[in-house]
């Protein structure tokens, strides 16, 4: 855990792509329940543009968000892209409709179509960071990893990542390609994947927590609120700042469809957390 003086604001993804650690997650710019276009697409476009204006240069999305509409809105907002903006997307989950569950499909055929679809919608000749949204229990992981490695070798992907995986999953994937990132659920109140964070930190792999604000029990949430009140910041800001202090390899992608909320999230970079405060926050969740 880092002192404020040592807090790094950038990270070299894959060892050669420097990005700002506070990015933006574009899941919430779609319609209600992550389905279809939002009622006001221009608002979503404005939020994405504002994020870049405020210093965000890493945007995370997935073909399943909408589906497809998140990628389309990012394209409409930012194309032609600034050379320092990195778009990361994901494939391997399928969903059609607001009341339909996400289904796994990490078969080579689906991922081939999903990857080409993302390239087409984003108007890119390659994806800077392509992450497997989930390992498919119906498909041997080795087959999925072999396909992704070949797609990278073909020039469609620069860096590869994984989502919701164990240390053992990462180690298996590394037999096929260099794992640049891992995106697991993690927050100050939800630290189930602490061993994965520690492994990625030791290996120079980016750790991208989704649901970075966390849920937690009522008691835990109340204590987080009290800590935020003492610092005169929001619980969202404190939770994000804790993640930035927790490890240098953590990249944040808080999502919102509100410019005001976006600006609030960005101010988490300015929060100073003492060692004592970090210890108190660490105690909110049993590891």
The answer, yes or no, to whether the previous bond of 80 is cis (omega within 30 of 0) is: yes
How far, rounded to the nearest angstrom, does the alpha carbon of residue 180 sit from its chain's CA centroid?
A: 13
Residue with tokens 């390239």: 119
3-state helix, strand, coil in the chain (%, to 5): 45, 20, 40
Q: For residue 185, list its beta bridge partners.
A: 210
Instruction: Please pick, among 65, 81, 130, 186, the residue that the annotation labels catalytic.
Output: 65
CA dist 16 and 234 (Å) reads 34
Long-range contacts of 243-247 (CB under 8 A, 24+ apart): 243/186, 243/187, 243/188, 243/209, 243/212, 244/7, 244/21, 244/22, 244/268, 244/269, 245/1, 245/2, 245/4, 245/7, 245/273, 245/278, 246/1, 246/197, 247/1, 247/2, 247/197, 247/201, 247/207
Residue with tokens 């009341």: 99
User: Packing angle between helix 259-266 and helix 235-246, nearest 10 degrees?
Assistant: 40
12 phi, psi to nearest 5 deg: -95, 100
Q: For residue 162, list its beta bridge partners.
A: 132, 182
3-state DSSP call for residue 38? Answer: coil
Q: Is 81 a catalytic residue?
A: no
Which residues participate in catalysis according to the annotation? 65
């Amino acid at each position: 855990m880092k002192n404020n003086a040592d807090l790094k604001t950038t990270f070299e993804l894959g060892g050669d792509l420097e990005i700002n650690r506070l990015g933006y997650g574009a899941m919430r710019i779609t319609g209600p329940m992550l389905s279809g276009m939002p009622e006001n697409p221009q608002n979503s476009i404005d939020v994405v543009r504002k994020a870049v204006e405020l210093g965000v240069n890493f945007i995370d999305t997935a073909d399943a968000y909408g589906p497809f509409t998140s990628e389309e809105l990012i394209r409409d907002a930012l194309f032609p892209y600034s050379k320092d903006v990195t778009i990361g997307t994901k494939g391997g989950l399928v969903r059609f409709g607001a009341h339909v569950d996400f289904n796994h499909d990490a078969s080579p055929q689906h991922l081939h179509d999903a990857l080409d679809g993302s390239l087409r919608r984003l108007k890119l000749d390659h994806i800077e960071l392509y992450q497997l949204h989930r390992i498919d229990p119906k498909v041997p992981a080795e087959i999925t990893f072999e396909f992704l490695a070949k797609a990278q070798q073909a020039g469609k992907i620069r860096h590869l990542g994984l989502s919701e995986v164990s240390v053992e999953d990462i180690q298996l994937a590394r037999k096929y390609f260099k794992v640049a990132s891992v995106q697991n659920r993690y927050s100050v109140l939800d630290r189930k994947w602490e061993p994965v964070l520690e492994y990625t930190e030791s290996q120079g792999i980016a750790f991208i927590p989704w649901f970075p604000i966390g849920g937690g029990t009522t008691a835990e949430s109340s204590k987080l609120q009290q800590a935020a009140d003492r610092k005169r910041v929001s619980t969202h800001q404190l939770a994000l700042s804790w993640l930035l202090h927790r490890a240098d390899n953590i990249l944040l992608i808080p999502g919102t469809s509100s410019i005001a909320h976006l600006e609030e999230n960005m101010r988490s970079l300015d929060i100073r957390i003492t060692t004592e405060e970090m210890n108190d926050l660490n105690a909110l969740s049993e590891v």
